[in-house]
Amino acid sequence: MGKHHLGEFEEVVMLTVAILHGEAYGVSIIEEIENRLKRSVSMGSLQTVLKRLEDKGYLASELGEATSVRGGKRKRFFTVTNLGKEILKATKDQRMSLWSAIPDFA
Amino acid sequence: MRQKSPTPPYLILTFFRWFCDPRMAEDIEGDLLERFEIRLTTKGQFRAKLLFIKDVLLLFRPSMIRSFQGQQKLNYYDMFKHNITITFRSFLRQKSSFIINLIGLSSGLTCVLLILLWVNDELKTDRFHENSDQLHYIMSNHTDASGTRTWKGTPGLLLEEIEAQIPEIELATAYTDTHEFTISTKSETPISLKVEGKFASDHFLSVYSYPLVRGNASSVLANNSEAVITKALAEKLFSNEDAIGKTIEWHFGGNKKAFTISGILENIPSHSSEQFELLLPWNFYHDELITFKQWGNYYARIATVLQANANPQLVTEKVDTIFKNNLEDTNVDLFLTPYSSLYLYGEYENGIQAGGRIEYVRLISFIALLILFIACINFINLATAKASQRMKEIGVKKSMGASKRSLAYQFLTESILICLIALGISGLLTLLLLPGFNQITEKEIALQFDLTLVLSVVGLVTLVGIVAGSYPALYLSKMEALSILKGFKLAKSSGGIGRKVLVIFQFTLSTILIVSVMVVYQQMQLIQNQNLGYNRDNLIYFEREGKLTDQSDAFINEIKNITGVENAAISGFMVGGLNSTGGVAWEGKTEKDQIQFWEYNVGANSIDLLGVEFISGRDFSEEFATDQDVVIFNETAIKAMGMDDPIGKSIVHYTGNKKIVGVVKDFAIGSLHQDVEPAIFLNRPASANLIMVKIDGTSTARTLQEIESAYAEFNPEFPFKPAFVDQDYQALYSSEQRIASLSKYAAALAIIISCLGLFGLTAFTTEKRIKEISIRKVLGSGIWRIVFLLTKQFSALVAIGILIALPFSYWAANRWLNDFAVKISLSWWFFALAGIATLVIAWLTVFGQTFKAARLNPANNLRNE
Chain B interface test: which of A10, A43, A49 (most B C-beta within 10 Å)? A43
Q: How far is A49 from chain B (nearest CA, A)?
A: 9
Angle between helices B404-441 and B95-124 (to 10 degrees): 50
Residues of chain B short of pLDDT 70, as ranges, are 1-4, 67-76, 253, 388, 487-496, 591-592, 625, 864-865
Q: How far is CA B231 from CA B87, B202, B212, B719, in A?
A: 56, 19, 9, 21
Chain A interface test: which of B16, B63, B65 (most A C-beta within 10 Å)? B63
- Domain residue spans in chain A? 8-98
Among A27, A45, A51, beta carbon nearest to B35: A27
Residue B545, amino acid? E
Residues from chain A contacting residue B64 (CB–CB below 8 Å): 44, 47-48, 51
Give the start-end residues of each E strand in B98-187.
135-144, 147-151, 169-175, 179-185
Pairing assessment for the beta strands B255-265 and B212-214 based on DSSP bridges: antiparallel
SS in 3 state form for B322-386? HHHHHCCCCCEEEEEEEHHHHCCCCCEECCEECCCHHHHHHHHHHHHHHHHHHHHHHHHHHHHHH
- Any A CB within 8 A of B40 CB: no
Q: How far is B21 from chain A (nearest CA, A)?
A: 12
**Are B472 and B765 spatial neighbours (Cβ–Cβ below 8 Å)?**
no
**How far is it, in rounded angstroms, from Cα B683 to Cα B666?**
19
**How far is it, in rounded angstroms, from Cα B831 to Cα B244?**
64
**Are B604 and B685 spatial neighbours (Cβ–Cβ below 8 Å)?**
yes
**How far is it, in rounded angstroms, from Cα B545 to Cα B705?**
19
- Any A CB within 8 A of B51 CB: no
- Any A CB within 8 A of B27 CB: yes
Mean pLDDT of all residues in A42-69: 87
Q: What percentage of chain A's residues is helix, strand, coil (to nearest 5)?
A: 60, 10, 30
Inter-chain residue contact A27 with B38, CB threshold 8 Å: yes
**Are B408 and B473 spatial neighbours (Cβ–Cβ below 8 Å)?**
yes
Q: B552-582 in b/e burial notation, b at 16+ Cβ within 10 A?
A: beebbebbeebebbebbbbbbbbbebbbbbb
- How many other C-beta atoms are found inside a 10 Å radius of the C-beta of residue A66? 14
What is the model's pLDDT at position B276? Answer: 92
- Phi first, then psi: what are they for B103, rounded to 5°? -60, -45
Residue B421, amino acid? I
**How far is it, in rounded angstroms, from Cα A58 to Cα A90?**
13
**How far is it, in rounded angstroms, from Cα B657 to Cα B477?**
88
Q: What is the pLDDT of residues B498-526, one digit of tens each?
A: 788 888 988 898 888 888 888 888 888 88
The residues with which B9 forms a beta bridge, in sequence order, are: none
Which helix (DSSP H) or strand (DSSP E) does residue B33 occupy? helix B22-43
Among A52, A69, A76, beta carbon nearest to B27: A76
SS3 A60: strand
**How far is it, in rounded angstroms, from Cα B855 to Cα B864?**
19
SS3 B687: coil
Q: What is the pLDDT of residues B71-124, one digit of tens each?
A: 455 566 777 788 888 888 888 888 888 888 888 889 888 988 888 888 888 888
What is the model's pLDDT at position A29? Answer: 92
Inter-chain residue contact B30 with A74, CB threshold 8 Å: yes
Inter-chain residue contact A44 with B34, CB threshold 8 Å: no
- Any A CB within 8 A of B35 CB: yes
Residues from chain A contacting residue B54 (CB–CB below 8 Å): 42
What is the model's pLDDT at position B22? Answer: 79
Cβ partners under 8 Å of residue B525, min gap 6? none
SS3 B306: strand
**Are B206 and B218 spatial neighbours (Cβ–Cβ below 8 Å)?**
yes
Among B29, B38, B55, beta carbon nearest to A71: B29
SS3 B768: helix
SS3 B309: coil
Inter-chain residue contact A51 with B24, CB threshold 8 Å: yes
Which helix (DSSP H) or strand (DSSP E) does residue B227 occupy? strand B226-230
What is the model's pLDDT at position A12? Answer: 93
**How far is it, in rounded angstroms, from Cα B427 to Cα B421?**
10
Q: How far does CA B836 lie from the centroid of its chain?
A: 29
| A:B CB pairs within 8 Å | 67
- Any B CB within 8 A of A68 CB: no
Give the CA-trace dihedral at B628, B634, B637, B638, to 10 degrees.
90
Residue B369, amino acid? L
Closest C-alpha to B724, from B686, B685, B697, B688: B697
Residues from chain A contacting residue B40 (CB–CB below 8 Å): none
Inter-chain residue contact A44 with B61, CB threshold 8 Å: yes
Closest C-alpha to B335, from B163, B176, B580, B150: B150
The residue in chain A having the minimum alpha-carbon distance to the alpha carbon of residue B36 is A70
Inter-chain residue contact A70 with B34, CB threshold 8 Å: yes
Sign of the C-alpha dihedral, residues B382, B387, B389, B394?
positive
Q: Which residue has the higher pLDDT, A78 or B674?
A: A78
Among A42, A51, A70, beta carbon nearest to B30: A70
Residue A8, amino acid? E
Residues from chain A contacting residue B30 (CB–CB below 8 Å): 26, 70-71, 73-75
Query: Using only C-alpha atoms, what is the Rg of chain B?
Result: 37
Residues from chain B contacting residue A51 (CB–CB below 8 Å): 24, 63-64
Q: How far is B54 from chain A (nearest CA, A)?
A: 9
Q: Write the DSSP string, B483-523.
A: HHHHTPPPPSSTTHHHHHHHHHHHHHHHHHHHHHHHHHHHH
Does domain A8-98 fall into CATH 1.10.10.10?
Answer: yes
**Are B262 and B552 spatial neighbours (Cβ–Cβ below 8 Å)?**
no
**How far is it, in rounded angstroms, from Cα B244 to Cα B239?**
13
Chain A interface test: which of B10, B12, B27 (most A C-beta within 10 Å)? B27
Q: How far is A90 from chain B (nearest CA, A)?
A: 27
Residues from chain A contacting residue B67 (CB–CB below 8 Å): none
What is the model's pLDDT at position A2? Answer: 52
Q: B420-434 in b/e burial notation, b at 16+ Cβ within 10 A?
A: ebbbebbbebbeebb
Among B26, B35, B59, beta carbon nearest to A73: B26
Residues from chain A contacting residue B35 (CB–CB below 8 Å): 27, 30, 43
Q: How far is A85 from chain B (nearest CA, A)?
A: 24
Inter-chain residue contact A52 with B24, CB threshold 8 Å: no
The residues with which B485 forms a beta bridge, in sequence order, are: none
**How far is it, in rounded angstroms, from Cα A89 to Cα B414?**
62
Among B30, B35, B60, beta carbon nearest to A73: B30
Residues from chain B contacting residue A44 (CB–CB below 8 Å): 55, 57-61, 64
- Phi first, then psi: what are they for B560, rounded to 5°? -60, -25
**How far is it, in rounded angstroms, from Cα B703 to Cα B690?**
18
**Are B788 and B846 spatial neighbours (Cβ–Cβ below 8 Å)?**
no
ipTM (interface pTM): 0.87
**Are B845 and B761 spatial neighbours (Cβ–Cβ below 8 Å)?**
no
Kindly report the pTM of this predicted structure: 0.69
Closest C-alpha to B521, from B725, B736, B672: B736
Q: What is the pLDDT of residues B413-437, one digit of tens each?
A: 888 888 889 999 998 999 999 998 8
- Any B CB within 8 A of A67 CB: no
**Are B516 and B817 spatial neighbours (Cβ–Cβ below 8 Å)?**
no
Closest C-alpha to B788, from B803, B800, B776: B776
- Domain residue spans in chain B? 10-59, 135-343, 359-527+734-862, 539-730
- What's chain B's length in residues? 865
Residue B552, amino acid? S
SS in 3 state form for B66-116? CCCCCHHHHHHHHHHHHHHHHHHHHHHHCHHHHHHHHHHHHHHHHHHHHHH
- Any B CB within 8 A of A74 CB: yes
Inter-chain residue contact A70 with B61, CB threshold 8 Å: no
CA atoms within 13 A on the CB side of B715: 26
